[in-house]
Amino acid sequence: DAGVTQSPTHLIKTRGQQVTLRCSPKSGHDTVSWYQQALGQGPQFIFQYYEEEERQRGNFPDRFSGHQFPNYSSELNVNALLLGDSALYLCASSLRRMGGETQYFGPGTRLLVL
């Protein structure tokens, strides 16, 4: 049973560029959430996707956008990168129709913005 997978594992970008991160949920899960974890901090919620729509959003600017595909996989896009966007980006999946309370996390994508 495959767990949550994310790609790429590491990424280096420069300020102003755009980046796309990818996530495949745990088998059988239908909901994907994205988190940003800055160094030395806990994960901060970015947004959650269910049935290909953004259902909830945290306190992040519109530069952060996402998408969920019919196979439940998801992408996180960040435009006009800032130095402060450097972080570990975590994807988590859950099964909403069974309550959705428990999230399972992927290994993350470490983004460095220079």
Partner 1 sequence: AQSVTQPDIHITVSEGASLELRCNYSYGATPYLFWYVQSPGQGLQLLLKYFSGDTLVQGIKGFEAEFKRSQSSFNLRKPSVHWSDAAEYFCAGGSYIPTFGRGTSLIVHP
User: Which of the stretches 12-20, 62-70, 76-84, 98-106 binds partner 1 when contact is defined by CB under 8 A?
Assistant: 98-106
Query: Strand, helix or coil at 69?
Result: coil
Report if residue 58 touches partner 1, rule: CB under 8 A. Answer: yes
What span, in angstroms and rounded, lies between the C-alpha atoms of 7 and 110?
A: 10
Report if residue 106 touches partner 1, rule: CB under 8 A. Answer: yes
Q: Which of 12, 20, 113, 9 is nearest to 73 (CA)?
A: 20
User: Which of the stretches 13-21, 66-74, 75-83, 101-109 binds partner 1 when contact is defined by CB under 8 A?
Assistant: 101-109
Q: What are φ and ψ of residue 94, in 5° steps?
A: -155, 170
| Chain residues that interact with partner 1, rule: CB under 8 A | 4, 6, 33, 40-45, 48, 56, 58, 90, 92, 94, 100-108, 110
